[in-house]
C-alpha cells in the first residue's frame, strides 16, 4: 500500500505543483498582457499627442498666414482708398482754384514764397485768371516781375531768373508736398 499511497501522493503533489505553476504562469501572462495593454495605450496616447501637436502647429501656421493675408488685404484696401482720395483731390483742383476761399489765400501763398527769396530779383508766374489777385502783393516791389502763363496749372511759381531758386506753389505741388502727412492722418482716421 505504500507504493499506491506514494504514487497517489506523488500524483497529488505533481498536480498541485502543476496547478501552482499554471496559476503562476497565468498570473505572469496576465501581468504581461496588462503591461502590453498599458504600453500599447501609452504608445497610442503618445501617438495621439504627437498628432495633436502636429495638427496644432499646422493650425497655428495656417492661422498666422490667414492673419497675415488679412493684414495685407486691409493694407491694400487702405492704400487703394487713399489713392482714390488723392486722385479725387487732384481731379477737383481746377474747381478749388476758382473758389473764393482759394483766391483769397493766393496772395498769402505768394507772400510765403517771397520770404525765401527776400531781396533777390524774382519772377512770379501764374495763370491769367490769378494775376489780378497777386498784383496787390507785387505793387511797389521792383525786384518782383509778374508773368501770366496760360499753360501754368492753378497756383503760382516763384523763381530767380537763372532758376537757382524755384518755388512751385501750384495746387498740384502743394498737394503733393502735403500728401505724406495727409496719408498718415487719413490712415489714422480710417483705422480708428
pTM of the prediction? 0.63
> How far is it, in rounded angstroms, from Cα 53 to Cα 49?
6
Mind listing the pLDDT tens digit of every residue in the chain (192 residues)? Answer: 577 777 777 778 778 888 888 888 888 878 888 887 888 888 888 888 889 999 999 999 999 999 999 999 998 998 998 999 999 999 999 999 999 999 999 999 999 999 999 889 999 999 999 999 999 999 989 999 999 999 999 999 999 999 999 999 999 999 999 999 998 988 888 777
* Largest Cα–Cα separation, the chain: 158
Q: Which CATH architecture has domain 92-191?
A: 2-Layer Sandwich (3.30)
Q: What is the DSSP letter of 153?
A: P
Q: Spell out the SS3 assignment of 88-137.
A: HHHHCHHHHHCCHHHHHHHHHHHHHHHHCCCCCCEEEEECHHHHHHHHHH
Taking the CB of residue 126, how many other CB atoms lie within 10 A of it? 25
Return the domain boundaries, the chain.
1-67, 92-191
Amino acid at each position: 500500500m505504500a507504493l499506491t499511497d506514494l504514487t497517489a501522493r506523488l500524483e497529488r503533489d505533481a498536480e498541485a505543483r502543476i496547478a501552482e505553476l499554471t496559476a503562476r504562469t497565468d498570473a505572469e501572462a496576465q501581468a504581461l498582457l496588462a503591461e502590453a495593454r498599458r504600453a500599447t495605450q501609452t504608445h497610442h496616447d503618445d501617438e495621439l499627442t504627437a498628432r495633436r501637436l502636429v495638427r496644432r502647429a499646422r493650425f497655428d501656421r495656417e492661422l498666422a498666414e490667414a492673419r497675415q493675408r488679412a493684414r495685407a488685404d486691409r493694407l491694400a484696401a487702405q492704400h487703394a482708398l487713399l489713392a482714390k482720395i488723392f486722385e479725387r483731390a487732384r481731379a477737383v483742383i481746377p474747381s478749388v482754384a476758382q473758389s473764393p476761399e482759394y483766391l483769397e489765400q493766393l496772395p498769402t501763398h505768394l507772400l510765403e514764397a517771397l520770404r525765401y527769396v527776400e531781396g533777390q530779383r524774382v519772377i512770379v508766374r501764374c495763370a491769367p485768371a490769378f494775376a489780378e489777385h497777386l498784383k496787390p502783393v507785387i505793387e511797389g516791389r521792383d525786384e518782383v516781375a509778374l508773368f501770366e502763363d496760360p499753360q501754368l496749372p492753378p497756383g503760382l511759381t516763384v523763381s530767380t531768373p537763372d532758376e537757382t531758386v524755384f518755388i512751385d506753389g501750384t495746387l498740384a505741388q502743394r498737394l503733393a508736398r502735403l500728401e505724406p502727412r495727409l496719408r498718415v492722418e487719413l490712415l489714422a482716421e480710417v483705422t480708428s
